Structure 1
């Protein structure tokens, strides 16, 4: 069977997930990855090629259509990337069998356009929390049968646990930016009763940015260390006993790779009560879910005071992730989906009605659901990533594409 993956790129979480899946596939599928832009980071693409699969950069949309002709199944790696939305709207697709794997939750912007879900032959989510969205919850049963949930976050296969890690060692790994991280994270560390507590934050940050300024303004700045990027997350995480991962209520995350990886190492997660995290952490059994930043501080103090509780919950987290978030399990579920979908006839698809025909339409389609109003289009956002307005404008600079 020939599986064509159409994806904007193979960086970050999507690349990491597919590199793990490619090595774990139970059957020798021919997987062809067609990238819509030049990759900035080739690590995961190289790992996929090393597993025997093909990675190619599309020169133009006609080439995407040509590759779809030969594919038994076309799997779109979906998130609000402008090049992927352009591909869906403007490619003259042949008859095909389509599967979407959504790498966004849709719980908050960026959203998942209901029309895409309706048009896809199969639609795969990365968190069960997304099933509570109206466009999924209110589907008739025959449409719900087209849905599946397969996480793209995987734990470490052989987790190291140094015995010398102190109960007061805390770690955060991920987006060190208040666009995702809760701005109260440093207030929570300041409020701890244990002065020996230390929080290491791993992830790229701006030395003069808001996060660095907030850390410097703490009452106890010695409790926090901004470490920057790491090429060895397992080593960075293994220093700690507690994974402190407070995210904004409206964050865009879904599978939460860092959370899964930390739990696979036996770290005890302390998270806020956001849907994606609540779908992963079981309260008091594999971690702790706080209703507020203030409650985070109380939970962390309790864990530092009770090493036995820390050990018990950490072991439960490690055991559960080993069972629920292994690449081989996800690979088998995709294989079963592909085998079932391959029995259906190929058909014509029309994605343009779901997302529009111009960049301004695509951006709006990822920011609001039908019946809602776009309040803030992010005119002041100068980031060129994560589907921001600036990202879309940089990809399509022609003013005519943005005229209402």
Structure 2
């Protein structure tokens, strides 16, 4: 069975690691699957390129149009990893060869700019939504005839032989990106509200500006001594071995779905704390498999409660571990994925209409990617002063946002004007 993955980039995030884990599971089960991946944008992560090759996954980087058509034509199934990216939408605006298509959404799909816009609904034969059911894009759940809810596969193998280590005090661990599009803007303020015996391990990296801003804010609040920055760590078991609580304060506008960091922490039996507003929080039954707060103060109170109440912390951690083993087992989920392939391959390939017109302007393409027309988007810009700072930031600077499209289409005249309007609102 020939599976062709199409993914916007290959730089080390969860969607890329999901595909690699699928390939690893193929080897473990001797599945008769040949996987190739078209990577539309550069650069490529060298470590992930090597890891892909180790499991027989072939990457085709920045392919020409003719090469993409040939790859699609040769595949039994085309699996598109979707998030708003100009190169991916350019591809979907083309007349492509007949194919059996899965769209695996790497985003929840309900927050700008990472929207699963209505025209996408009937493009694939199968939708795979990585957010929990009831979170994200209700029009797809309601309208499409074949929707699967399947969390992304985590690399649980890197947690083998894990053992907790004794340590002084209480340690809370955050694992993830430090960019503003991921982490809650009031994360330093949350840390400042934690009890004095709680240390916070921050595992992950971000751009120099984002990391510098975080460090500076911790200094201003006088809590730098409570925080340990570990940077990017591949061997996360080493850091989590001294954790008591897993904290995951995401940006409320985050498009997070089945976060691997959350899966891995719950798998180990760490009690997680999150905030409402993101689809990823839907994996937690608050009070049972974790605590979900409604605001930063409630988040800090939840962490403090778990720090003080060891019995509660152990009970929730144990329940989180059981849930993770039931829902996040990569072997079980890979088997489900294979069953989807086997059902789909019995169906004929079909052609599908391009998602966007080749005659559209860049501005029209961008607005359509948000599920809006030009007039509606301009109205959204005019109301930017009333929108949350997080929402404006995501629209301006996150992947799929105005600056991303401007960088891809530098000669367009509308995008710089819109960026100027939104920048003033953010300031």
TM-score higher than 0.5 here? yes
Higher-RCO chain (CA-CA 8 Å, sequence separation at least 6):
1
Shift of 1:316: 2.1
Q: 2:282 aligns with which of 279, 284, 290?
A: 279
- Aligned twin of 2:307: 304
SS of aligned partner of 2:322: helix
- Aligned twin of 2:198: 197
**Structure 1 segment 30-109 matched on structure 2, within 5 A:** 30-90=34-94, 92-109=95-112
Shift of 1:223: 1.6
Which is further off, 96-105 or 123-132? 123-132
- Aligned twin of 1:367: 370
**Cα distance between partner residues in 2 of 1:336 and 1:166:** 47
- Superposed CA RMSD: 2.9
SS of aligned partner of 1:34: strand
**Cα distance between partner residues in 2 of 1:403 and 1:281:** 41
Shift of 1:45: 3.1
Q: Does 1:398 align with 2:411?
A: yes
**Structure 1 segment 319-338 matched on structure 2, within 5 A:** 319-338=322-341
**Cα distance between partner residues in 1 of 2:78 and 2:167:** 46
**Cα distance between partner residues in 2 of 1:318 and 1:51:** 28
- Aligned twin of 2:22: 21
Which is further off, 169-178 or 383-392? 383-392
Shift of 1:383: 8.4
**Structure 1 segment 5-404 matched on structure 2, within 5 A:** 5-11=5-11, 12-25=13-26, 26=29, 27-90=31-94, 92-109=95-112, 110-129=114-133, 133-139=137-143, 143=144, 145-154=145-154, 156-157=156-157, 158=160, 160-166=162-168, 168-192=170-194, 194-205=195-206, 206=208, 209-353=212-356, 357-369=360-372, 373=377, 375-376=380-381, 386-399=399-412
Shift of 1:8: 1.9
CA shift digits 1:167-216 (9 cap, x unpaired): 61011111213333222222222223x31111122222436743222211
How many residue pairs get matched? 398
Gaps of 5+ in 2: 385-390, 418-427
Judge conservation of contact 2:22–2:153 (CA < 8 Å) in 1.
no
Shift of 1:54: 2.1
Gaps of 5+ in 1: none
SS of aligned partner of 2:96: coil
- In structure 2, the CA distance between the partners of 1:107 and 1:132, relative to structure 1 (3 Å rule), is closer
Shift of 1:71: 1.2
Structure 1 or 2: larger helix share? Answer: 2
- In structure 2, the CA distance between the partners of 1:173 and 1:113, relative to structure 1 (3 Å rule), is same
TM-score normalised by structure 1 residue count:
0.89
**Cα distance between partner residues in 1 of 2:293 and 2:256:** 18
